[in-house]
Structure 1
Amino acid sequence: MYKSKFVNIYLIFFLTFTLTESLNILAVMPHVGKSHQLVFEPLFRKLALNGHKVTLITRYPQKDPVPNWRDVNVAPVSLNSTEIFTFNDLTGTRLDRYTCVALLTVAARESCKDGLSHPNYQNFLKEDNHFDLILIEIFNTPCFMGVVKRFNNAPVIGLASSIWMPWMYQWFGTDSNPSYITNHFLGHSDQMTFLDRVENTLVHIFTNVWYNILLDRQGKQFSEEMTGINLDDNGDIMSNISVLLINSHFTINVKQAMSPNSIEIGGIHVENQPIKPLPQDLQKFVDESKHGVIYMSLGSTIRGDSFPEDKKQALLKAFSRLPQRVIWKWEGEMQDKPDNVMIYRWAPQRDLLCHPNVKVFITHTGLLGTIETVDCGTPALMLPLFGDQFTNAASMEQNGGGLVLYISDITDEVVYEKLKKLLSPQFRDSAIELSNRFKDRPLSPMNTALYWIDYVSRHKGAHFMKIASVDMPLYKFYLLDVIAFIFLIILINLYVFYLVVKFIFRKLFKRQEKIKKS
């Protein structure tokens, strides 16, 4: 959809000619996970092609250089960007949800140490550069925010490749009420029971305390030790961020009241990406599948061949009962697989998901894959394992995009029954309806991002968009002083009332005593 072609052509024309001034833009994407950068690479490419100069601090430099785009490579010499975890590390249990913030702390330490100490980064800080705008990832550490102070305090736009982290709300004033907004790691929908809300509140408090004590403090220490830049000088550096571009959309993620400077651009990495033909062997396998294909991939971070043996056998048994063919992302060989199962090392995921013969996607519910399956209108069987995957899965199920199945609950009968539901025409229609809602917007994700980048540049940071609550101390934000004042007034009035009643009763008793004596 994205409205009519005429409207899109007009908007592209308008945006092209409003972004006439060539900007010198610094982008910072230092996280160890490559998928974070993949969300925003189309945006960086579009900015460069529009005539802006883009300098990207990254662990994953371009393979095919783009004009006006320079990479500052801060990757360590030995870099493994895929299949980092096995099922021994991530079991999908509730304990994983509580301890995921500790995993993010390890990742933050790695990205800070590797990046800030890298000779390329150290040399870059010494260069006499001037930037008109800084785009920086907001995720699990502030350690790279030193570039904001180093380069003339240029306007800053935050980039978030995932849904809201628990500690991000405070910088933008977006509602974080745990009564209906699920914590990033837990996987509740917005319809929580009493016990869900208790858990959600406690984990929300815990993750924020963890961030402030460990992640925030550790990141600022790394910045000062390795670059000499004090991030707390003249206030918290995070308050300098003008606008947040976040990879979410209310049709598929948690719905919440957003501040004016929080802009949803979910879908930017798939917009205008042409569907390409599949590799020949894959194309033949899919085209010749009379009953359609089920595609299974647990992403690029987890080794598929570490899947627990009993759960693997349950899946294979369920697959063997279905007339559909199955493509399973798997490393190496797989013993005793049914004839309808094909093992494939790296499949072009979006091209496959958008093939009309692909009927179901079995996924770990990473946000990029979730957006791709919604964009293609393909129902999903969701096996969340860590991070925001539990929450992504709960939101998708609530919005009609698929069904959740936890790893611990896998049996051949449960898998078979859930796949039968997902293969029904009714579920296919529901997934297509969700896809239509997701795409139906006044501006496409890319044009939305370009508009706000131009807006922040034109208005020199657009700090007037910031909500007053961002700079409020906690006692003001939660009205603790007002509550205390009202409580004090009530106490004073109660005390005065008590004294008046006591006085009246004394007078009455004295009068009665006088009457008795007389």
Structure 2
Amino acid sequence: MWVRSGVLIVFLGILGVPPPISAGNVLAVYPHFGFSHFKVVMPILNELATRGHDITVISYVKNPHAVAFPNYEELLISAPGEDQSSTTINLVPLTENTPTRSLPVLIREYKALHDEGQKTCGHLFASGHIERVVERHRKKPYDLFLTEYFNSDCQLAMAKLMNLPIIGLSTCALMPYYYDRIDLPDTPAFIQSEFVGFAGQLKWHERLLNFIQAKLLKFLYKYHSNRADNMVIRKYLGVEIDVEEVARTQTAFIFGNQHYSLMGSRPQSLQFVEIGGVHITKKAEKELPENISNFLNRSNEGVIFISWGSMVRASSIDKDKLTAILEVLQHQPLRIIWKWEGDETPKTDSSKFLFIKWAPQLALLCHPKVKLFWSHGGLLGTTESVHCGKPLLVTPIYGDQFLNAFSVQNRGMGLKLDYEDITIPNLKQAFTELRKKSYAQRSVQISKIFNEREKAPLEIAIWSVEHVIKNGLVAAELLQSPGIELNGFIYHSLDSIALIFISVVLLIIILSYMCRGKPSTPANKKLGKPKRS
């Protein structure tokens, strides 16, 4: 037996595959329908399966690589036989763009996310998969609960019922309502959440909005969304569970799909782990279809690559804006590759334009002929552009795209151009500006920092997962800050500040009282002679 084990370890070493720890039993629950969300976690799940861990995944999106792993089981909550190419991508028309980040817009976005999250919870609980995995846990216990921290927490009922440590994943910039769970400072004076986006150092009115949204959205999520989550759990499972308490006491790590080179430096928590770029693979950098490869090879001056992500339908663009874009692009030297979902493409010079329904985005961005990326500011595409060192023109449509667009602009890697501002003069000005060498040079500099890390993002994620598998809830307990147990009054030392303030006020009052008295005789007053009797 020992000989066999030794041979296996040597064989794995030859293949370059690290020998796994004692195989864990992992339950992963990712019920959100967005393909781009699940794309972030797929490499982690695949690598865990490769290392010999048993993986049970409850998800809406199907993993195309799952069939390669006998120890990877999918429990889908999407409809049987559903064509996910039409139900998880190209869903958002450009009519839904939000040109401002005012407080009413932020509240509308929160409400839309809440409704979406509760719909997801309904699908998850109606699927019967929860009862199935809870029953399995009695026979073969799970070691860890992996999930997404995005717009609902109803799935955390499973972690509570099975008493499992949790690793959450934020596929975008962290939502403001998750900061307190891991004692991650929000500091609204300069830290922007997923909901906002401002340029450079915040002005006073921007700080005010940033402060209000950070505190208001935390309040709404706790007393609106989490209360709804608890009601769903009570309805389907018949138990009382406070999901906020579960998240606070059982979370070991939150993986953030970000890196400081793009999102900026900030105070950290041991529980927040940056894994931005975890979805990027060397294989994906080389996956170019023949028609695209041929077009690139014929592009002597270079190419502008246009893609507004997997969710946004670029083909829903307003006619006047499309006309302006085509007019400007036709008269600049670079050729164009454009992700276009519609069957009918714009009438253009085919030697200048190539329209494709699906883009091998990473391979295109890393190709030396691609000189500029016109993006909607989705975090995956933005991260890939940073990885490949390409400047960007960013047209944000909704959500965290505004934050990402300003991050690009603030770091000198590109420009932000709002959808409402797409006109011929503005486009000419933007392309003229982006031809300056400083944008390409700055993009290469930041790419170098993004890619030079002590460990690759996937290595960091796998180490964290296996650390929690081996140590269970003790790992989560030791990672947690004592601050999560304190109420706001004590956490911010308001009791001490109040005591000091009251003491200073009392001292001033006492000194003022002691200084009161009869006015003394002036020193320079002359004494008169006594009167004679």
Taking structure 1 as the reference length, what is the TM-score of the superposition? 0.90
Q: Which of the residues 126, 136, 146 maps onto 2:157?
A: 146
Q: Within 1, Cα distance between the matches of 2:401 and 2:286? A: 27
Change beyond 3 A, Cα 1:322–1:427: same
Could you tell me which amino acid in structure 2 is paired with residue 83 of structure 1? N
Residue 136 of structure 1 aligns with which residue? Answer: 147
1:75 to 2:78 alignment: yes
Number of the residue aligned with 1:456: 468
Match of 1:333 in 2: 344
Q: What's 1:371 paired with?
A: 383
Residue 288 of structure 1: how far off its partner (Å):
0.6
CA contact (8 A) 1:382 1:402 kept: yes
Helix, strand or coil at the partner of 1:459? helix
**How many pairs are equivalent?**
499
Shift of 1:93: 3.5
* Pair 1:163-2:173 in alignment: yes
- TM-superposed CA distance for 1:106, in Å, is 1.8
Pair 266,290 (structure 1): closer, same or farther in 2 beyond 3 Å: same
Matches within 5 A, 1:210-221: 210-221=220-231
Change beyond 3 A, Cα 1:97–1:332:
farther
Distance 2:106 2:333 in 1: 36
SS in structure 1 of the partner of residue 294 of structure 2: helix
Residues 182 and 325 of structure 1, relative CA distance in 2, 3 Å threshold: same
Once the two structures are superposed, the pairs formed by residues 115-134 of structure 1 within 5 Å of their partners are 115-127=124-136, 128=138, 129-134=140-145
What is the match of residue 4 of structure 1?
none
- Residues 1:261 and 2:263 are matched in the alignment: no
Q: Equivalent of 2:459, from 441, 447, 450?
A: 447
Distance 1:189 1:345, change over 3 A: same
The structure with more radius of gyration: 2
Q: 2-side partners of 1:283 and 1:362: how far apart?
A: 19
Q: CA deviation at 1:508?
A: 6.0
Distance 1:16 1:228 in 2: 44
Residue of structure 2 equivalent to 1:5: none
Contact map agreement 2:34 2:61 (CA 8 A) in 1: no
Which secondary structure does the structure 1 equivalent of 2:95 belong to?
coil
Q: Quote the residue 1:39 is aligned against.
A: 40
Q: Is the deviation greater in 339-348 or in 422-431?
A: 422-431
Q: Equivalents in 2 of 1:76, 1:90: separation in Å?
A: 29
Alpha-carbon separation, structure 2, partners of 1:88 and 1:320 = 25
**Cross-structure match for 1:85:** 92
After superposition, the Cα gap between the structure-2 partners of 1:122 and 1:337, relative to the gap in structure 1 and judged at 3 Å, is: farther
| 1:138-165 deviation per Cα after TM superposition (whole angstroms, max 9, x unaligned) | 11111100111222x1222111111111
Unaligned 5+ segments in structure 1 are 1-10, 510-514
Structure 2 counterpart of 1:312, one-letter code: L
- How many Å separate the matches in 2 of 1:187 and 1:94? 7
Deviations 1:316-336 (A, max 9, x none): 111011121112212221344
Instruction: Give the superposition deviation at 1:130.
Output: 0.9
- Matched residue, 1:433: 445
Post-superposition Cα deviations, 1:92-144, rounded to whole Å, max 9, x if no partner, equal 33354452212211210111111111133343333334111111211111110
Cα distance change, pair 104–253 in 1 and its aligned pair in 2 (3 A):
same
Counterpart contact for 1:92–1:408, Cα < 8 Å: yes
Gaps of 5+ in 2: 1-12, 522-526
Mapped to 2, the partners of 1:283 and 1:109 lie a distance apart of 43
CA contact (8 A) 2:287 2:360 kept: no
Q: 1: distance between equivalents of 2:426 and 2:326?
A: 12
**Are the counterparts in 2 of residues 74 and 121 from structure 1 also a CA contact under 8 Å?**
no
Q: Contact (CA 8 Å) 2:389, 2:444: kept in 1 or not? A: yes
Distance (whole Å) between structure 1 residues aligned to residue 377 and residue 18 of structure 2 = 35
CA distance in 2, matches of 1:232, 1:417: 53
SS at match of 2:113: helix
Matched with 1:105 is: 114
CA separation of 1:57/1:229 partners in 2, compared to 1, >3 Å: closer, same or farther?
farther
Q: Please tell me whether the aligned partners of residues 101 and 197 of structure 2 are also in contact (alpha carbons under 8 angstroms).
A: no
- Aligned position for 1:488: 502
User: What is the CA–CA distance in structure 1 between the aligned matches of 2:131 and 2:330, rounded to whole Å?
Assistant: 56
Give the TM-score normalised by the residue count of structure 2.
0.88
Q: Which residue of 1 aligns with 2:8?
A: none
Is the Cα–Cα contact under 8 Å of residues 15 and 450 in structure 1 kept in the other structure? no
Once superposed, what is the RMSD of the aligned Cα atoms? 2.5
Q: Which amino acid aligns with 1:337?
A: T
- Which of 4, 10, 18 is matched with 1:16 structurally? 18
Range moving further from structure 2, 437-446 or 118-127: 118-127
| Residue identity opposite 1:124 in structure 2 | V
Where do 1:231-270 residues align within 5 Å? 231-232=241-242, 235-270=245-280
The answer (yes or no) to whether the contact 1:155–1:460 under 8 Å persists in 2 is yes
Give the deviation of 1:12 after TM superposition: 12
Letter of the structure 2 residue corresponding to residue 21 of structure 1 = S
CA apart distance, 1:471? 1.4
**C-alpha distance in 1 between matches for 2:44 and 2:141:** 21
| Identical pairs, percent | 28
The aligned residue for residue 7 of structure 1 is none
Question: Residues 139 and 12 from structure 1, CA distance in 2 versus in 1: closer, same or farther, beyond 3 angstroms?
Answer: farther
Q: Is the 8 A contact 1:146 1:230 kept in 2?
A: no
Instruction: Provide, for residues 297-346 of structure 1, a one-character-per-residue CA deviation record: whole Å limited to 9, x for no partner.
Output: 11111211211222211111110111211122122213443442222111
